[in-house]
Amino acid sequence: MLIAAIALAISTLMFRRRLRNWRADKQRIILDGSNVMYWDNETPSLGPVKLTLNRLAAEGYSVGVVFDANAGYKLYGAYRGPDALARRLKISSDRVMIAPKGTPADPLILKAASDMNARVVTNDRYRDWVSDYPAINKPGFLIPGSYRDGAIHLRMPQEKGRKAA
C-alpha cells in the first residue's frame, strides 16, 4: 500500500510537470483516455480520443489526456508510452500521460484536475474516489460524451460567454 501511495505521488508530480506549460489563459480539460477510447462501439480506438482532443482545442480549451498503463496493449497489443501515443494523436507529448504499471489512472486524473482547476471528459462516475475527490459531485466537473455517426457529442455545462455545444 505504501509503495502504491508513493508511486501515485511521483506519477502525479511528473504529470503536473509535463502540464506546466499548459496555457493559463485557457480553461483546462483532461481526457480520461482509457474511457474515451472505447466510445466507438466499445472497441478500443484512438479515433474518439483524437476527435475529442481536436474538438475541445478548436473550442479554445487547453486539453491533455491520461491513459491507464495497459492502453497500448489494448490498442496495439504492446506497450506504448506517452511519446508514441502523442505522435498518433498528433499532439505534443507533454499533453499525454500513461499511468505507471499497477497504478490506476483514475487518481492521477482526479488529482491533476483538482490541482489545475480542470474538468474531466469521461463516462466514468469515479464512485470509488468520491471521498478523496469530492469535486466529482460538483456539476460540470465530469463531462460525459459519446461517439455517434462519426462525431463526438459532449454534454458540456453551459458556461458564461460560451455557446452550448
Per-residue pLDDT of the chain (165 residues; tens, 9 = 90+): 555 555 555 655 565 555 555 556 689 999 999 999 999 999 999 999 999 999 999 999 999 999 999 999 999 999 999 999 999 999 999 999 999 998 899 999 999 999 889 999 999 999 999 999 999 999 999 999 999 999 999 999 876 555 444
Class of residue 117 by CB neighbours under 10 A (exposed 0-12, middle 13-18, buried 19+): exposed
**CA 20 and chain centroid, separation:** 16
Beta bridge mates, 32:
66
- The predicted model scores a pTM of 0.85
d(CA 21, CA 28) in angstroms, rounded, equals: 12
Q: How far is residue 100 from each of residues 11, 14, 64, measured CA to CA in Å?
A: 7, 11, 17
- Structural domains for the chain: 2-154 (3.40.50.11980)
Residue 39's pLDDT is 98
